[in-house]
Amino acid sequence: MKTISPLQEERLKYQPKLPDSLSKGINNLELETGSATEAAGDKEQIKELFAKTYGNPVVTFKTTGNSKSSPVKNVGVILSGGQAPGGHNVIAGLFDALKQANKENKLYGFLGGPSGIIDGKYVEITKDFIDKYRNTGGFDIIGSGRTKLETEEQFKKSLEVCKKLNISAVVIIGGDDSNTNAALLAEWFVKNDAGIQVIGCPKTIDGDLKNEQIETSFGFDTATKTYAELIGNIQRDANSAKKYWHFIKIMGRSASHVALEAALQTQPNIVLISEEVEAKKMSLEQIVNSMCDVIVKRASMGKNFGIVIVPEGLIEFIPEMKTMISNLNDIMHDLEADTAYSNATSTRERFEIVADRLDDSNEKVFSSLPALIKSQLLMDRDPHGNVQVSRIETEKLLIEMIRTRLSELKQQGEYIGKFSDQAHFFGYEGRCAFPSNFDADYCYSLGFNAFALINFGLTGYLSCVKNLVKPASEWVAGGVPLTMMMNMEKRHGEMKPVIKKALIKLDGAVFKELEEHRDDWAMNDRYLFPGAIQYFGPSSVCDITTVTLQLENK
Ligand code: FBP
């Protein structure tokens, strides 16, 4: 019996590429320092909250001929939040750099996400251990979790655990929320003279942890390619059978980067973009009507089939829904403590209690929704207070409303087609795929670079590798202060410092590319079939980056 697949066997042998500036060795680096930085917003408040780590410069690494020796250092690593392809390679890069710097160095992996450092659950990562995970997808090497590291008590416990293991640096691999935690922990360690550095790594398939310094988060490349493969396959099926409208919800908690990228790789008939819906203040009814326009026109051409891409976070961007969900989030905390609500024996009873507590206009919106969606909106929030949009079946809500609207149009003699639907959700399928060559190289470089930042004594930085549309040898490695990406936002009803999420820019090149072509794609089937990610073969197929990265860095 085989214990690993043939592909995994081959991928274990892949040696990820490093930028030239890092490839000469971890002990042959020189640090170049830029000028002082400012927060992305609410500068004074962020400066006050991060008095010890605020304003540090952006740094880059350069190779030097002089080899230095590195003192012994133990490092801890945490995988935080949702899985993203390439996480294992970040740890592999970190491990290799750490051992290259000094063979006595040790790497500890905290188990199950941030809770591992609080509860002292860890494993020592050795060569034999890491070698089994090189170039594989998933976070199963040490597991992940969504515990929010933010209280004094958690920080104190983390310090105790680090002291016990003689750890002098912690690497947190996570998205915007997790790196906000990294910034808080870094500040606390400095304030308390703990002598422990904290470095973040930009992870999330959602692609919304990016800014002028961070070109993309890792995992976005592989996840979007995986979804594009699946969408392409469905397009072939739809175009063969010509009998279904496929509604495909695509993961991405808030921003629509994943849906947009997958659409640019596949050219479906309809793509909804949450940021556009919000900017145009489109109601749910308007969205449904605009989709029905396409369905009706295609039916008049004899095409009773098509592909619709729906971004996972759409519901929170529809103005009336956004207001209602925000009202719902505010009352959820009280509801959990309310015995009438927790003892309610039927969902109908719960809906009534909720409707009673909501403001009038929000009550109307809530009550107009199908029971399925109402129940999903009432599910537990994530530890950051967010609605778990991956559990809300927006694609089914749209289908139901479209069916109703089409039957009205049929009665009015304005629709002559037949509407048969299929609903899909592509999310978890893409988060643990074998990392593409791009993600394998990028992640390895991010991890290697994270240790370089540690070796130079930096803290409160995000590992940063830029110039990503160029071959890996030309990538530029360095670090960006976490405070530079922060502003104040409302969370759980309170203003908190957070890393600013990057939403789709409606005047940016990526959205404009969609805008230019979508009317054509709606009527004339211009489907593209990207096929599976290729790991071996011509570079024109194996090493291409996302359309988003290419257009944003033209
Ligand atoms: P991160 O931001 O932590 O990377 O997670 C993103 C994500 O994959 C979203 O796209 C999705 O909405 C969410 O995680 C799902 O969370 P969970 O894994 O807890 O179901």
Report the percent of the chain where pLDDT is more than 90. 89
Burial class of residue 278 in the structure, from the number of CB atoms within 10 Å of its CB (0-12 exposed, 13-18 middle, 19+ buried): middle
Output the pLDDT for position 452.
97
DSSP letter for 315, please: G
DSSP letter for 218, please: B
Is pLDDT at 121 greater than 80 in this prediction? yes
Output the pLDDT for position 387.
82
pLDDT tens digit sequence for 98-111: 999 999 999 999 99
Q: Which residues of 115-139 are buried (b: 16+ CB within 10 A; e: fewer)?
A: bbbbbeebeebeeebbeebbbbbbb
> For residue 152, which phi and psi values (nearest 5 degrees)?
-55, -45
Q: Is 312 in the pocket of ligand 1 (CB under 6 A)?
A: yes
Mean pLDDT of 221-244: 98
Mean pLDDT of 24-39: 94
Q: Is 271 in the pocket of ligand 1 (CB under 6 A)?
A: no
Report the percent of the chain where pLDDT is more than 70. 99
Q: Is 466 in the pocket of ligand 1 (CB under 6 A)?
A: no
Mean pLDDT of 17-40: 94
Do residues 474 and 467 touch, judged by C-beta distance below 8 A? yes
DSSP letter for 543, please: S
**Residue 421 to residue 401: CA distance in whole angstroms:** 12
Q: Is 175 in the pocket of ligand 1 (CB under 6 A)?
A: yes
Taking each helix axis as running N to C, give the angle between helix 176-191 and helix 152-164, from 0 to 180 degrees, rounded to the nearest 10: 70
The minimum-distance atom of ligand 1 relative to the CA of 313 is 12
**Residue 54 to residue 282: CA distance in whole angstroms:** 39
Q: What is the pTM of this model?
A: 0.95
Q: Tell which one of 90, 180, 204 to mutate to probe ligand 1, the residue whose CB is within 8 A of the most ligand atoms.
A: 204
Cα of 382 vs centre of ligand 1, distance in Å, is 10
Mean pLDDT of 450-476: 97
Output the pLDDT for position 215.
98
Output the pLDDT for position 337.
82
Give the active site residues. 206
Do residues 501 and 209 touch, judged by C-beta distance below 8 A? yes
Token couple for 205:
């398939």
- Parts of the chain belonging to CATH 3.40.50.460: 230-310+395-430+500-554
- Residue 465's pLDDT band, with cuts at 50, 70 and 90, is very high
Of the candidate ranges 183-197, 228-242, 366-380, 453-467, the one whose mean pLDDT is the lowest: 366-380
Mean pLDDT of 395-421: 96
**Residue 401 to residue 295: CA distance in whole angstroms:** 13
- Parts of the chain belonging to CATH 1.10.10.480: 313-392
Alpha-helical (H) ranges within 256-411 are: 257-266, 274-279, 284-300, 319-336, 339-342, 347-357, 360-368, 371-377, 394-411
**Residue 440 to residue 159: CA distance in whole angstroms:** 32
Which secondary structure element, helix H or strand E, spans residue 74, and what is its range?
strand 74-79
Q: Tokens 């962020």 label which residue?
A: 46
Mean pLDDT of 503-523: 98
Is pLDDT at 515 greater than 80 in this prediction? yes
pLDDT tens digit sequence for 304-350: 999 999 999 999 999 999 999 988 988 887 887 888 888 888 999 99
Output the pLDDT for position 384.
65
Mean pLDDT of 125-138: 97
Closest listed residue to residue 69, CA positions, set 107, 118, 29, 110: 29
By DSSP bridging, strand 167-174 and strand 197-202 are parallel
Which secondary structure element, helix H or strand E, spans residue 181, and what is its range?
helix 176-191
Q: What is the CATH number of domain 230-310+395-430+500-554?
A: 3.40.50.460
- Parts of the chain belonging to CATH 3.40.50.450: 6-219+435-491
Q: Is 82 in the pocket of ligand 1 (CB under 6 A)?
A: yes
- Residue 554's pLDDT band, with cuts at 50, 70 and 90, is confident
By DSSP bridging, strand 476-481 and strand 421-426 are unpaired
**Residue 172 to residue 117: CA distance in whole angstroms:** 11
**Residue 227 to residue 431: CA distance in whole angstroms:** 10
Q: What is the CATH number of domain 6-219+435-491?
A: 3.40.50.450
489 beta partners: 496
Which are the contacts of 440, defined by CB distance < 8 A and separation ≥ 6? Answer: 14, 16, 86, 89, 135
Closest listed residue to residue 209, CA positions, set 88, 116, 81, 315: 81
**Residue 252 to residue 508: CA distance in whole angstroms:** 19
Is pLDDT at 367 greater than 70 in this prediction? yes
Q: Which residue has the higher pLDDT, 416 or 490?
A: 416
Rg of the chain, C-alpha, whole Å: 24
Mean pLDDT of 400-415: 96
Instruction: Give the closest residue (by CA) to ligand 1 atom 12.
Output: 253
Mean pLDDT of 269-298: 97
Cα of 473 vs centre of ligand 1, distance in Å, is 31
Is pLDDT at 248 greater than 70 in this prediction? yes
- Residue 303's pLDDT band, with cuts at 50, 70 and 90, is very high
Query: Which class is 313-392 in CATH?
Result: mainly alpha
**Residue 497 to residue 489: CA distance in whole angstroms:** 6
Do residues 489 and 509 touch, judged by C-beta distance below 8 A? no
Instruction: Give the closest residue (by CA) to ligand 1 atom 4.
Output: 204
DSSP 509-520: HHHHHHHHHHHH
Residue 310, classed as helix, strand or coil, is strand
